[in-house]
Amino acid sequence: MINGFHMSKKKILVIDDEVNFSNLLKINLEDIGEYEVKAIYKGSEGYEAAREFCPDMIIIDVVLKDADGRDVLSLIKSDSQFQHVSVIILSAVPLKQILEKHPVLLGNTLILSKPITLAMLVEHIHQQLKKSENG
């Protein structure tokens, strides 16, 4: 609470089939106190989860057991409700390979390589959300 006003937490949707990684990320981000995090483990549930949760940011892997994360992201971003949502693609897949299928990822997307430290990821999350707030 600042000056009598409650600061609303930013909502982050994590779509990654690595359950341990997703849960660890969720716990660590929520411990910061600025984020509400929903983790899902199937790409096929990504669009519906985004519609229900209305995230400010999506963190997604491109390699999911049941779907291509790029296709999931394209579906989500094709909905006007999510065109301006910040996105972090977090993957061990090389950048060139990520961009081959979808050469133009719709605005406000950052691509990061796994492995990454939690501190570095949190810094990128802060920067992306700040960028989206400032237009």
* pLDDT digits 0-9 by tens, 60-118: 998 899 998 888 998 998 899 998 899 999 888 777 777 666 555 556 788 888 888 98
Q: Is 38 exposed, middle or buried (0-12, 13-18, 19+ CB in 10 A)?
A: middle
Cis peptide before 115 (omega within 30 of 0): yes
* pLDDT digits 0-9 by tens, 24-47: 999 999 999 999 999 999 999 999
Instruction: Kindly list the structural domains of the chain, giving each domain's residue range(s) and its CATH number in brackets, ordered by start.
Output: 10-133 (3.40.50.2300)
Q: Which two tokens stand for residue 103?
A: 């050469």
Q: For the chain, give the mean pLDDT.
A: 87
- Name the pLDDT band for 57 (thresholds 50, 70, 90): very high
CA 6 to CA 45: how far, in whole Å?
31
Top pLDDT among 15 and 105 is at 15
Asked whether the beta carbons of 48 and 2 are under 8 A apart, the reply is no
Beta-ladder partners of 14: 39, 59
pLDDT for res 1: 46
